[in-house]
Chains A and B, each alone.
Chain A
Amino acid sequence: MTEQPRSYQTEAIIIRRTKLGEADRILTLFTPEYGKLRAIAKGSRRPGSKFGGHVELLTHSLLQLARGHNLEIVTQAQTMNSFLPLREDLKRLSSGLYLAELIDAFISEDIEDRDLFDFVIMTLKELSTAENLDTVLRYFELHLLHKMGYQPQLQTCSGCGARLYPGTNCFSAAHGGVLCVECGFDEPAARSISVNALKVLRLWQTCDYATAYKVNINQELTIELESVLREYIRHVLEKQLKSTAFLDMLRH
């Protein structure tokens, strides 16, 4: 086995932080080369700490890490992007926190995926500026599911493979996609999905952010899309993400 260097540099997005001891924090990092890492930022809760805002949640930073026994130790930190506008608006910030929890839940340790990392950075930029934050979140969820191997089947019935007819069809989290009316009838856990919701999801699967914004989505459709994807994500992760409750609270 080749000797690994004791200290190495990596880009990272801080997706979770917990307090440790008197003035330290444990950071959960999402990195392009090493997937999810956990590292200690010593003294980072003191006001004069050299880490300061460089290791805040949802910051894109360049970190120097030293290998520790269980956890890595942060030795240097420099912000690359702090997504400032994201921090100055509660809706943007809470959407960002949801995104962080989503990444934490989906990404496992030790995966190398530069594309996914760049996609997350791009999404954080979108969350800092976009007008329709719901669109950003749904688009992100859809593409994250795809990258993680859970792309919902939206073209044909995921039960019998039949062509779908325009009109109300069903969506089944357990089948991982849309069911035709007959298959949906046999599946008690399936829910209905409107033709508009299906069209929007199909378009978003293949387009970029700029195109995604062009779709005009009313309140009713926003809620439908959110609940379809939320249900599916809950099925895949086998748990409900906690930060959705705060997002719902801000909407009302």
Chain B
Amino acid sequence: MKLDFNNTAEPIARLIEEFNKLPGIGPKSAQRLTYHLLQSPQEKSEELAKAILSLKQDLSLCPVCFNITDVNPCSLCSDSGRDHTKICVVEDPADILPLERTRKFNGVYHVLHGVISPADGIGPDEIKIKELLMRLQDGAVTEIILATNPNTEGEATAMYIHGLVAPLGIQMTRLARGLPYGGDLEYADDVTLSRALEGRQQL
């Protein structure tokens, strides 16, 4: 929707329009943010502008794991305290943070930057699967943990990678799929429940 800027100074109109393009920001919030910046001191706006610029200028993809990073290679890949024989494969850079918070995984990551989604025209060549296979060539990796999302596209991607990596004889595991903590059995679907039953564990 085009916003109507009758009689509004051009710089104000421009910033409102830019804010309005951001997710979750409607025309009213965009207006409020713009007038807020207008009334706050010059340095505040400069800091914001610099932060936005540096986001693109100073960040790049780690050439090893394709996580977003400001150093080359990223801090996870260059950490010698981590176990480089285990690779956890995730869909997006944002998936690393919750996994790191668990403190249960001390290996390294591989970010696919998407999942196979045939109807959207996203096939294996559109995501970083070839790059994962390259990392396996030197034979140092002993385990791959597939941590793609437990939904149709995530499963398809995991199965596809499994098909490619299985012949190499590397151990492959998939994050357990079952009932979420804090969930409710009553609302569980059959796929989740069947997998929870299949993966049940001795107490």
Which residues from chain A sit less than 8 Å from chain B, CB to CB?
Answer: 16, 21-22, 47-48, 50, 52-54, 56-59, 79, 82, 84, 87, 89-90, 93-94, 97-98, 100-101, 104, 241-243, 245-247, 249
A54 to B184, alpha carbons, bound, how many Å? 14
A152 to B124, alpha carbons, bound, how many Å? 34
Which residues from chain B sit less than 8 Å from chain A, CB to CB?
Answer: 23-24, 116, 118-121, 123-124, 151-153, 155-156, 159-160, 163, 180-184, 187-192, 194
4 smallest CB-CB distances across A and B, nearest first, come from A53-B189, A243-B118, A246-B118, A47-B180
Of all chain B residues, which has the CB nearest A15? Answer: B119
A244 to B10, alpha carbons, bound, how many Å? 48
> Is A249 in contact with B191, judged by CB distance below 8 angstroms?
no
A87 to B152, alpha carbons, bound, how many Å? 7
12 pairs of residues in contact across A and B, judged by CB atoms under 8 Å: A52-B192, A53-B189, A87-B191, A94-B156, A97-B152, A98-B118, A100-B119, A101-B118, A243-B119, A245-B118, A246-B116, A249-B123
A237 to B71, alpha carbons, bound, how many Å? 48
Measured between C-beta atoms, what is the minimum distance from B71 to chain A in Å? 29
Which A residues lie within 8 Å of B116 (CB)? 246
Which A residues lie within 8 Å of B187 (CB)? 50, 52
> Is B192 in contact with A53, judged by CB distance below 8 angstroms?
yes
A84 and B194 in contact (CB under 8 A), knowing A21-B24, A93-B152?
A: yes
Measured between C-beta atoms, what is the minimum distance from B133 to chain A in Å? 15
A93 to B163, alpha carbons, bound, how many Å? 14
A101 to B194, alpha carbons, bound, how many Å? 27
A48 to B181, alpha carbons, bound, how many Å? 7
Which A residues lie within 8 Å of B155 (CB)? 87, 93
Main secondary structure of the interface of B (DSSP, over half): helix
A52 and B152 in contact (CB under 8 A), knowing A16-B119, A47-B183?
A: no
From the candidates B153, B163, B189, name the one contacting A79 in the complex (CB within 8 A): B189
> Is B163 in contact with A56, judged by CB distance below 8 angstroms?
no
> Is B121 in contact with A245, judged by CB distance below 8 angstroms?
yes
A108 to B124, alpha carbons, bound, how many Å? 30
A249 to B163, alpha carbons, bound, how many Å? 13
Measured between C-beta atoms, what is the minimum distance from A6 to chain B in Å? 23
Of all chain A residues, which has the CB nearest B186? Answer: A50
> Is B151 in contact with A56, judged by CB distance below 8 angstroms?
yes
Measured between C-beta atoms, what is the minimum distance from B31 to chain A in Å? 21
> Is A90 in contact with B160, judged by CB distance below 8 angstroms?
yes
Which B residues lie within 8 Å of A22 (CB)? 24
> Is B191 in contact with A93, judged by CB distance below 8 angstroms?
no
A89 to B160, alpha carbons, bound, how many Å? 10
Measured between C-beta atoms, what is the minimum distance from A189 to chain B in Å? 25
Which A residues lie within 8 Å of B23 (CB)? 21
From the candidates A21, A89, A93, A242, name the one contacting B119 in the complex (CB within 8 A): A242
A183 to B57, alpha carbons, bound, how many Å? 63
> Is A245 in contact with B123, judged by CB distance below 8 angstroms?
yes
> Is A82 in contact with B118, judged by CB distance below 8 angstroms?
no
Which A residues lie within 8 Å of B190 (CB)? 53, 79, 82, 84
Most chain A beta-carbon contacts within 10 A, residue among B120, B184, B188, B191: B191
